[in-house]
Amino acid sequence: MSLYQAPLKDMQLLLERTLAKTGLLDLPALAEFDSELIGAVLEEAGKFANGELAPLNRVGDVEGCRFEEGRVITPSGWKEAYRRFCESGWLGLALPADFGGQSLPRFIAQPVNEMWLSANQAFIMFHALTQGAVDILLHLGSEAQKARYLEPLISGEWTVAMALTEPNAGSDLGALSTKAIPQDDGRYLIKGQKIFITYGEHDLTDNIIHLVLARTPDAPAGSRGISLFAVPKVRINDDGSLGEANDVLCTGIEHKTGLHGSPTCSISYGERDACYGELIGEENRGLAAMFILMNEARLSSGTQGIALAEVGYQRAREYALERIQGSDYLTGRQRVALVEHPDVARMLLSIRSEVMGLRSLSYLIAALIDKAEHGRDDAERTALQSRIALLTPVYKAFTTERGNLMTGTVIQIFGGMGYVEETGVAQLMRDARINTIYEGTTGIQARDLLFRKIQGDDGAALKSLLAEIDELSGTLKAETGPSGLGEALGQASAAVSAELSAILDRNRADPLQLNAGGVPFLEALGTLCCAWQLGDIALVAQAALAEGRDPDYHGNLQALAQFYYAHSVPRIDAHLAAFRQARAGIDRYRFTIHTN
């Protein structure tokens, strides 16, 4: 049984469609990235994911990381895979060529990232950290800081750790208490305890650059008094060589239910009062600095939902085609394959259709980011940024929530064998389970959506999105292909639109009441976005069918869209009903829990 095969055919189709729709390759900066180049990158990445990373996924789960006297030992093979990953240029793929990267656009990095995550999420978690740190340094770092950090980070010589969370400051970073005391030489003495630091300590590289949120002595309380510091594990000499240890001590790693191969560290900074860091950006602007990487991190964790579902689907499909069990109702045939049972087919299609819709959404967002970066004028860039900002919390929360369900469905298809760890699919459920929590929980994404992204621009970005969905609905209605999709899409869009006034009229519903229905509203919008993408895929397939191209494949794409419209789109109304009714009851509900 193959562990993972990059779904190149699906990816290529979706990429080509996304590029065609967004006109991305018409931009001068991106014109060189033709489909031949894209195809070559995807194929090589697929080989690396399947050949190098996937075989280590279960190794990482079984062995986990070991903690020994302040050191963290990664699972067997991790070090070699890390070295090859960096040497092959994958780490620097979308990082700036000025500092040793390859500056490939986001739309190519997106399918590649999905492959890494499908193959081995626990391993690859260093990747988004480096990406985020590079973004921060490019935006906020001094020239000296860029010179000091960027090349070693992009080459993979050093890695990055993000030290945000403290025991009493999780989702609420404003509560953190780590101190940063300015020294005469311009450095800061760092002192405090941080927890839940991914790759905060490991044996992959000689140095780790910790980006630490801390408070200077006179900083205001709350989130307006947080600054960002670069704190290397090993001090860096002026010539870039490594000096003495910097009083950064790993005090333990968590025993998590999944992602065993990714060390989640507790770190003590300055136990011996000898931990020094340098300020990145301005004092008290640390949280703003974090927002630079937050969107990146949210898109990356959203992709984890898709990636784990994809590899789970591949395993479940293979098993369902091979495993003989039970008889066929219709034909009376004895001993048929699992896939012949309609409910097994239903479960498989529920994963594949949703993965295709959400993957398509991920490509769209990636392409919008590229377009916003290279866009022709400010007005276009601003409009694109609004669309990206609106879709980010929906994408992050919805794909990860669905990822939890889809990886559970994979176990269900395997039956009793899925419950046995050796099969490897229970790991997918366990690995996935953090994705709805870190980088902002689903509840926090819903709050971001309702208040910042919808109320914040008086609904403009959402209205523009719904208008585009309505346009597709009209096109689908006019098509002779798959029937009913256009009508269903239009109704769903109208149903979401009908709730807009309640969100925007601040006199009608107070924030607490709105917030109580935030997640159901986000789920409605997420389902609508997935339907939107699948409706569009059905159109693309229709065009290919009209030309007689690859009729099985394109017919199947239409079937995926029809499946999603049959099974999932009806949930939109249910989510919206919950959104409406949740608002009325929230005071009562909190009282109910208090008095139980």
Binding residues for a copy of itself restricted to 460-489, rule: CB under 8 A: none
Alpha carbon dihedral 520, 436, 209, 193, in 10-degree steps, equals: 90
Number of other CB atoms surrounding residue 168 within 10 Å: 11
User: In this structure, are residues 562 and 482 in contact, taking their beta carbons and an 8 Å threshold?
Assistant: yes
Query: Whose Cβ is closer to a copy of itself: residue 235's or residue 567's?
Result: 567
* Identified binder of a copy of itself from the candidate list 70, 240, 342, 474, rule CB under 8 A: 342
Dist. CA 368–CA 75, nearest whole Å: 37
397 touches a copy of itself (CB under 8 A)? no
Cβ at position 17, least distance to a copy of itself in Å:
19
Segment near a copy of itself (CB under 8 A); pick from 64-72, 100-108, 426-434, 465-473: 426-434
43 touches a copy of itself (CB under 8 A)? no
**What are 211's two structure tokens?**
């980006």
Residue with tokens 């839940």: 196
556 touches a copy of itself (CB under 8 A)? yes
254 touches a copy of itself (CB under 8 A)? yes
* Identified binder of a copy of itself from the candidate list 110, 205, 266, 404, rule CB under 8 A: 404
411 touches a copy of itself (CB under 8 A)? yes
Query: Whose Cβ is closer to a copy of itself: residue 288's or residue 336's?
Result: 336
List 282, 439, 479, 499, catalytic entry: 439
Cβ at position 204, least distance to a copy of itself in Å:
22
**What are 405's two structure tokens?**
């369900």
Per-residue contact string for residues 310-339; x = within reach of a copy of itself by CB under 8 A: -------x--xx--xxxxxxx---xx---x
255 touches a copy of itself (CB under 8 A)? yes
* Identified binder of a copy of itself from the candidate list 35, 103, 257, 382, rule CB under 8 A: 257
If DSSP codes are grouped into helix, strand and coil, which group holds residue 406? helix
340 touches a copy of itself (CB under 8 A)? yes
**What are 474's two structure tokens?**
């009209």
* Identified binder of a copy of itself from the candidate list 458, 510, 547, 549, rule CB under 8 A: 510
**What are 416's two structure tokens?**
């009793």
What residues contact 245, with CB distance under 8 A and at least 6 apart? 233, 234, 235
Query: Whose Cβ is closer to a copy of itself: residue 203's or residue 328's?
Result: 328
Terminal CA-CA length for the chain: 50
Segment near a copy of itself (CB under 8 A); pick from 129-137, 148-156, 178-186, 576-584: 576-584
User: In this structure, are residues 263 and 214 in contact, taking their beta carbons and an 8 Å threshold?
Assistant: no
Cβ at position 196, least distance to a copy of itself in Å:
5
Query: Whose Cβ is closer to a copy of itself: residue 466's or residue 516's?
Result: 516
Dist. CA 195–CA 253, nearest whole Å: 9
Concatenating the DSSP letter of every residue in 337-405 gives: BGGGSHHHHHHHHHHHHHHHHHHHHHHHHHHHHHHHHH-SSHHHHHHHHHHHHHHHHHHHHHHHHHHHH
578 touches a copy of itself (CB under 8 A)? yes
Total residue length of the chain: 596
Query: Whose Cβ is closer to a copy of itself: residue 87's or residue 589's?
Result: 589
Dist. CA 316–CA 339, nearest whole Å: 10
182 touches a copy of itself (CB under 8 A)? no
Cβ at position 441, least distance to a copy of itself in Å:
6
User: In this structure, are residues 483 and 408 in contact, taking their beta carbons and an 8 Å threshold?
Assistant: no
Segment near a copy of itself (CB under 8 A); pick from 300-308, 468-476, 496-504, 584-592: 584-592
441 touches a copy of itself (CB under 8 A)? yes
Dist. CA 432–CA 355, nearest whole Å: 15
Query: Whose Cβ is closer to a copy of itself: residue 142's or residue 581's?
Result: 581
272 touches a copy of itself (CB under 8 A)? no
Query: Whose Cβ is closer to a copy of itself: residue 104's or residue 162's?
Result: 162
Query: Whose Cβ is closer to a copy of itself: residue 420's or residue 546's?
Result: 420
* Identified binder of a copy of itself from the candidate list 39, 77, 182, 408, rule CB under 8 A: 408
Cα distances (Å, whole numbers) of residue 155 to 95, 103, 173, 371, 576: 10, 13, 31, 26, 48
H helix or E strand, kind and range, residue 460: helix 460-478
Segment near a copy of itself (CB under 8 A); pick from 135-143, 207-215, 253-261, 368-376: 253-261
Binding residues for a copy of itself restricted to 4-23, rule: CB under 8 A: none
Dist. CA 501–CA 489, nearest whole Å: 20
Cβ at position 304, least distance to a copy of itself in Å:
14
Residue 479 annotated to the active site: no
Binding residues for a copy of itself restricted to 533-552, rule: CB under 8 A: 552
559 touches a copy of itself (CB under 8 A)? yes
Binding residues for a copy of itself restricted to 183-242, rule: CB under 8 A: 196, 222
# binding residues, a copy of itself (CB under 8 A): 104
**Pairing between strand 158-163 and 207-214?**
parallel
Cβ at position 239, least distance to a copy of itself in Å:
39
Residues 117-140: b if buried by 16+ CB within 10 A, e if exposed: bbbbbbbbbbbbbbbbbbbbbeeb
430 touches a copy of itself (CB under 8 A)? yes
418 touches a copy of itself (CB under 8 A)? yes
* Identified binder of a copy of itself from the candidate list 421, 468, 471, 487, rule CB under 8 A: 421
Segment near a copy of itself (CB under 8 A); pick from 198-206, 345-353, 456-464, 529-537: 345-353
Give 299's Cβ-side CA count (13 Å radius).
29
Dist. CA 281–CA 286, nearest whole Å: 8
Binding residues for a copy of itself restricted to 50-69, rule: CB under 8 A: none
Rg (CA), the chain: 24
**Pairing between strand 276-280 and 188-198?**
antiparallel
User: In this structure, are residues 121 and 259 in contact, taking their beta carbons and an 8 Å threshold?
Assistant: yes
Catalytic residue IDs: 439
